[in-house]
Amino acid sequence: MNYNEEINHIVTKIKEIRSSQNMSIQDLAYKCDMERSNMSRIEAGHTNITIKTLCKICTALNIPLSTLFDK
């Protein structure tokens, strides 16, 4: 429930799933219609991501939003 822990958990999940699908950061950014720099900042845990952005990422990764919050 702590923000730092949650954001770390989420971006770790994103990185894992992206890697498992053999996508680079810029591949994922492209599928999300987003700047590569932004995806890089997100995966580095430097941004307080919005739900809209998470939806884009989950759509690009073809996973439900809930996956990112599974413990």
Partner DNA sequence: ATCGTGCGTATCATATATGGTACGAATGTT
Partner DNA sequence: AACATTCGTACCATATATGATACGCACGAT
Q: Which residues bind a second copy (CB under 8 A)?
A: 1-3, 6-7, 10, 48-52, 54-55, 58-59, 64-66, 69-71
For residue 36, the partner it binds in a second copy, DNA, none, with Cβ less than 5 to 8 A by kind, is: DNA
Minimum gap (Å) between residue 1 Cβ and a second copy: 5
Is there binding between residue 2 and DNA (CB under 7 A)?
no
Rule CB under 7 A: say whether 31 interacts with DNA: no
Q: What are the backbone angles phi and psi of residue 69, rounded to the nearest 5°? A: -110, 0
Distances (CA, A) of 15 to 1, 33, 51: 21, 17, 17
Contact status, residue 43 vs residue 15, Cβ threshold 8 Å: yes
